Amino acid sequence: MKKIILATGIALLFLGCSSKEAPKPTTPQVSGECVIQNTEAPKWVCTGGDIKDYVTAVGSAKPTPLGFSFQRSEAMAIARDEIAKQLQIKVKNMFKNYMATTGANTDSVEKATQYVSKQLAKQTLIGSKQLNMWIAPDKTLYVLVGVPLNAQKAKEVIKSSLHNQEALWQQIQADKAQKELDKEIEKEFGN
C-alpha cells in the first residue's frame, strides 16, 4: 500500500511540474481604416472629415491637470488653426534663376536657383463649431471642427482672401520690377 501511495505521489509531482504554458492573452486585431493605439477610431480622426458644405479640420489634445474643458479648448484651437490655414494662406515666394556663362574658351555654366516660401494664416473664423469628438484609450481628445461654407460671412472671407492674395502677388511683382530697374540704372549711370 505504501508503494501505491508513493507512486501516486510521484506521478502527481511530475504532473504538477509539467512545462505546459499558460495561454497568452491575445491582442484584438484591428483592421479598420483608422487605427489609433490599436483601437478602431472614427474615420474622420484620420482623414479630417468630409462633410458637404463644410471646411473641416481635426484637432487633438492630451489630458492636462487643468481638466477636460481646457483639453477641449486646446483641441478646438488646433482645429481652428488648421481651418484658418485652409481658408487663407498668404504666400510670399521668390524665384530667382540666375545663369551666367564664365570663362573665355569654356562653356561652364553656373546656375543658382533660389526658392523661398513663407506661409502665414490670418483669418477670422465665423460660425466654426465642433461637429464630433472622440477620446482615445490614452485619453487624448480628438475633435472635428467645421465652418459652414454656405454662411454668407464665410463666403465673404473666402472672396476677401482671394483678393488679398492677388494684391499681394501684384505687390511682390511691383517690388521685384522696381529692384531690377534700380539695378539697371545703377549699372548704367554708376551711382
Q: Which CATH architecture has domain 33-91+123-184?
A: 2-Layer Sandwich (3.30)
- pTM, two decimal places: 0.51
pLDDT digits (tens, 9 = 90+) for 77-108: 999 888 888 776 533 333 343 344 444 444 44
Q: State the pLDDT at residue 10.
A: 64
User: What 3 state SS string does the chain have?
Assistant: CHHHHHHHHHHHHHHHCCCCCCCCCCCCCCCCCCEECCEECCHHHHHCCCCCCEEEEEEEECCCCCCHHHHHHHHHHHHHHHHHHHHCCEEEEEEEEEEEEECCCCCEEEEEEEEEEEEECCCCCCCCEEEEEEECCCCCEEEEEEEECCCHHHHHHHHHHHHHHHHHHHHHHHHHHHHHHHHHHHHHHCC
pLDDT digits (tens, 9 = 90+) for 30-53: 557 889 988 999 999 999 878 888
Those residues of the chain that have pLDDT short of 70 are 1-31, 88-124, 150-168, 190-191
